[in-house]
């Protein structure tokens, strides 16, 4: 009969600042799942952990920088991407990942997002999309579906949301995909893939936010949102999905398309260096 061996160690121990636990995230939050995917991808990347750097903005997802036990920068609201651009261009041997939320990256940071994609700077963006501003208590943002409720839209959100893969594809990103927190292996594999895909890569991961978004929109807990993902997600194989089909609305009985949408091989941004430069 096989014996059970107990271990006090976890393979990801070296990548988590355990002295910072417990974390600040709510029960049912999806950010931890995505952070775990990122850590696992670093572990499997074959790239020295010393070369991995994470840059975050502000918000719940921005706190990831503080929990990852690698070089980490927790910057200002919306400015993680330009900070990361400066860092990457100053030290190209680093593997620079921007890990932040939808509000941080696409609202206050939206201009930096599209321009970094346009330049095709070799940084890896992981965007946690939970459809609202969670840390400040469930306000609507640029990813909130029209009609969904939030604390700043008590009568329903009157605005149309961004659909991020379409936006990123149009802006010029080299690689764009979308997963959800139920797609743990795919998310990890895709982040790992992005490390080896030069240029600007953008991975959107839909994540439950039961306290911020769920409570205003009749999604009772994180598990219920995960079940919505399981029931409705459709994997795209050819990547050709039009804008309206990428729109997400958890309240509607329509598919949520996930998978890889853009896979280009454009050369990444390189600063001009003259041949005989000193």
Partner 1 sequence: MTYRTVLTGKHFMHGDHACAEGAIAAGCRFFGGYPITPSTEIAERLARRLPEVGGVFIQMEDELGSMAAILGASCGGKRVMTATSGPGLSLMMENLGLGVMLEVPCVVVDVQRGSPSTGLPTMPGQSDVMQARWGSHGDYALVAYSPWSPQEMFDLTVLAFNIADRYRVPVLLMTDEVVGHMVERVIIPPEDQIDHWPRKRPTGRPSGSGNGSFKPFSAEEADLVPPMVHAGEGYRLHFTGLTHDERGYPDMTAETHQRLVTRLVEKINRNADQIIRIDPYYMDDAQIVVVAYGCTARSARRAVRLARERGIPAGLLRLVSLWPFPEQLFNQLAANIETFIVAEMNLGQMALEVERVTKRPVKGVFHAGGEMIAPEPILKAIINNE
Q: Which residues bind partner 1 (CB under 8 A)?
A: 17-20, 49-51, 53, 55, 65-66, 69-76, 78-79, 81-91, 93-94, 111-112, 115, 271-274, 276-278
- If the CB atoms of residues 54 and 207 are measured against partner 1, the closer one turns out to be 54
CB 217 within 8 A of CB 148: yes
- If the CB atoms of residues 39 and 219 are measured against partner 1, the closer one turns out to be 39
Nearest approach, Cβ of residue 268 and partner 1 (Å) = 13
- Nearest Cα neighbor of 234 from 194, 167, 183, 188 is 183
Nearest approach, Cβ of residue 69 and partner 1 (Å) = 4
CA distance 126 to 242: 22
Gyration radius (Cα) of the chain, Å: 19
Nearest approach, Cβ of residue 88 and partner 1 (Å) = 8
CA distance 36 to 236: 24
Nearest approach, Cβ of residue 182 and partner 1 (Å) = 30
* Secondary structure of residue 250 in the 3-state scheme: coil
Nearest approach, Cβ of residue 76 and partner 1 (Å) = 5
- If the CB atoms of residues 134 and 208 are measured against partner 1, the closer one turns out to be 134
- Which residues does 68 contact at the CB level (< 8 Å), separation at least 6? 15, 16, 17, 35, 38, 39, 54, 99
- If the CB atoms of residues 117 and 206 are measured against partner 1, the closer one turns out to be 117
Q: Look up residue 231 and give its two tokens.
A: 């029931």
Nearest approach, Cβ of residue 87 and partner 1 (Å) = 4
Q: Give, in order, the Cα–Cα distances in Å from 222 to each of 30, 210, 218, 226, 241.
A: 8, 5, 12, 6, 27
- Which residues does 55 contact at the CB level (< 8 Å), separation at least 6? 65, 72, 73, 75, 80, 81, 83, 84, 87, 96, 97, 98, 99
Nearest approach, Cβ of residue 113 and partner 1 (Å) = 10
- If the CB atoms of residues 81 and 226 are measured against partner 1, the closer one turns out to be 81
Longest Cα separation, the chain: 70
- Which residues does 4 contact at the CB level (< 8 Å), separation at least 6? none
- If the CB atoms of residues 84 and 176 are measured against partner 1, the closer one turns out to be 84
Q: Which residues pair with 37 in a beta bridge?
A: none
- If the CB atoms of residues 104 and 190 are measured against partner 1, the closer one turns out to be 104
- If the CB atoms of residues 69 and 221 are measured against partner 1, the closer one turns out to be 69
Nearest approach, Cβ of residue 275 and partner 1 (Å) = 9
């Amino acid at each position: 009969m096989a014996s059970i061996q107990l271990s006090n160690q976890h393979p990801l121990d070296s990548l988590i600042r355990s002295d910072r636990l417990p974390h600040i995230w709510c029960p049912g939050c999806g950010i931890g799942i995505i952070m775990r995917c990122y850590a696992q991808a670093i572990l499997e990347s074959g790239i020295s952990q010393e070369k991995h750097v994470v840059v975050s903005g502000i918000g719940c997802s921005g706190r990831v920088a503080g929990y990852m036990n690698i070089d980490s920068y927790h910057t200002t609201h919306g400015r993680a991407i330009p900070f990361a651009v400066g860092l990457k261009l100053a030290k190209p041997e680093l593997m620079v990942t921007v890990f932040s939320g939808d509000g941080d990256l696409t609202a206050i940071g939206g201009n930096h997002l599209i321009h970094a994609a346009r330049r095709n700077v070799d940084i890896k963006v992981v965007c946690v999309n939970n459809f609202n501003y969670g840390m400040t208590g469930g306000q609507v943002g640029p990813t909130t579906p029209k009609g969904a409720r939030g604390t700043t839209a008590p009568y329903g959100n009157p605005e149309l949301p961004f659909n991020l893969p379409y936006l990123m594809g149009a802006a010029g990103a080299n690689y764009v995909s979308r997963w959800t927190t139920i797609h743990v292996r795919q998310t990890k594999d895709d982040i790992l893939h992005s490390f080896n895909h030069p240029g600007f890569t953008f991975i959107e991961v839909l994540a439950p936010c039961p306290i911020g978004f769920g409570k205003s929109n009749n999604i009772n807990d994180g598990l219920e949102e995960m079940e919505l993902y399981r029931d409705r997600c459709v994997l795209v194989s050819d990547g050709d999905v039009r804008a309206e089909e990428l729109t997400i609305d958890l309240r509607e009985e329509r598919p949520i398309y996930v998978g890889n949408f853009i896979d280009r091989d454009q050369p990444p941004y390189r600063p001009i260096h003259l041949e005989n430069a000193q």
